[in-house]
């Protein structure tokens, strides 16, 4: 039997990770390299002459004498954790297919639960901001889905109380292989919401395949073709070959979330979806996940705890 090339690819081994990023100096040097690929330039006067202070975390300009922190203005700003801890967290988050919870990070990294929670949510925010402006194009399967709200006594299915509605979309090749996905929390399955979503996340002229839910017709107003598959809904829709990938990915998402997290609070739902999306869309390159995530984290503005806790809904 042919081996699945996603499952059997070589990841970043623990040994290799420790060899490259085992010390604070190595982590600082790598951050400096990714932050200033053309070399350090003083943000105040533009000089490239500097000296390093305080364990490489600060650079002092030789001309204007002002200091620049390695992580100021990035998602790592004002962290009390050493960079080695951030790297270890990013290693655990990126190399485990199902993800890792704040509680597990707290245990593995030996930091407080609150520090682990902040770190985890900051990194999920990086993933969210990275992919939000990359539209899908070509053939796209879409479906409605819900997170949470599975307490006993609740209604089942569309519109159930306490659930967070989100839209799942999968771009496929002409040969029906999945390319990338987009998972977006929306206010509800209404035409206006779908139109806004389509304008933002789909390239016009794409072909959208969905089930019979009426609001999906709104994609045509955004310039897309719409193939509507009328099926029985519920479990029966899983059998529809036209919606095979969106249903498979929703199944994987739900088991990953169930296996890793106790509960996903509605106001943080988009971050959890974005984390799954980010990892899925980069599934062919496990080795590069760590440097790429740090690279974009260095280009994501700071997110103080207060802002982090406002959430997104
Ligand atoms: Zn300067």
Is 230 a member of any domain?
A: yes
Is 304 a member of any domain?
A: no
Is 184 a member of any domain?
A: yes
Q: Where residue 207 sits, what CATH number does that domain have?
A: 3.30.420.10
How close is the Cα of 66 to the center of ligand 1, in Å? Answer: 6
Is 130 a member of any domain?
A: no
For residue 64, the number of C-alpha atoms closer than 13 Å in the C-beta half-sphere is 12
* Alpha carbon distance 40, 80 (integer Å): 23
| CA nearest to 195, candidates 221, 170, 169, 171 | 221
Model pLDDT for residues 211-220, shown as the tens digit of each residue: 988 999 999 9
Is 277 a member of any domain?
A: no
pLDDT of residue 298: 95
Domain interval for residue 258: 139-149+156-264
Is 282 a member of any domain?
A: no
How close is the Cα of 64 to the center of ligand 1, in Å? Answer: 4
How close is the Cα of 73 to the center of ligand 1, in Å? Answer: 17
Model pLDDT for residues 194-212, shown as the tens digit of each residue: 999 999 999 999 999 999 8
The predicted model gives 120-144 an average pLDDT of: 94
How close is the Cα of 126 to the center of ligand 1, in Å? Answer: 29
Q: Which residue has the higher pLDDT, 2 or 308?
A: 308
How close is the Cα of 24 to the center of ligand 1, in Å? Answer: 25
| CA nearest to 200, candidates 180, 217, 223, 177 | 223
Judge whether residue 152 has pLDDT over 50: no
Model pLDDT for residues 95-129, shown as the tens digit of each residue: 887 789 999 999 999 999 999 999 999 999 999 99
Q: Which of 5-9, 237-241, 262-266, 268-272 has the highest mean pLDDT?
A: 268-272
How close is the Cα of 43 to the center of ligand 1, in Å? Answer: 7
How close is the Cα of 120 to the center of ligand 1, in Å? Answer: 34
């Amino acid at each position: 039997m042919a081996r699945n090339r996603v499952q059997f690819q070589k990841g970043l081994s623990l040994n290799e990770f420790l060899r490259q990023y085992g010390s604070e100096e190595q982590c600082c040097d790598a951050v400096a390299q990714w932050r200033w690929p053309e070399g350090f330039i003083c943000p105040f006067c533009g000089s490239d002459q500097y000296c390093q202070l305080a364990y490489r975390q600060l650079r002092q300009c030789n001309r204007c004498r002002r200091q620049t922190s390695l992580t100021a203005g990035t998602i790592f700003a004002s962290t009390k954790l050493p960079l080695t801890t951030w790297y270890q967290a990013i290693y655990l988050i990126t190399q485990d297919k199902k993800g890792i919870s704040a509680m597990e990070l707290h245990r593995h990294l030996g930091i407080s639960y609150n520090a682990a929670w902040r770190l985890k949510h900051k990194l999920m925010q990086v993933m969210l901001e990275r992919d939000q402006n990359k539209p899908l194009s070509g053939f796209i399967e879409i479906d409605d889905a819900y997170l949470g709200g599975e307490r006993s006594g609740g209604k089942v299915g569309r519109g159930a109380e306490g659930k967070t509605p989100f839209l799942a979309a999968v771009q496929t090749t002409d040969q029906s292989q999945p390319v990338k996905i987009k998972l977006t929390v929306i206010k509800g399955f209404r035409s206006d919401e779908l139109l806004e979503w389509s304008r933002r996340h789909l390239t016009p002229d794409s072909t959208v395949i969905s089930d019979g839910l009426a609001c999906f017709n709104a994609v045509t107003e955004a310039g897309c073709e719409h193939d509507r598959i009328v099926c029985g809904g519920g479990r029966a829709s899983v059998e529809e070959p036209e919606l095979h990938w969106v249903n498979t990915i929703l199944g994987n998402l739900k088991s990953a979330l169930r296996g890793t997290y106790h509960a996903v609070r509605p106001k943080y739902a988009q971050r959890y979806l974005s984390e799954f999306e980010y990892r899925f869309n980069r599934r062919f390159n496990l080795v590069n996940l760590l440097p790429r995530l740090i690279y974009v984290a260095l280009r994501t503005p700071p997110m103080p705890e207060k802002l982090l806790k406002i959430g997104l809904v």
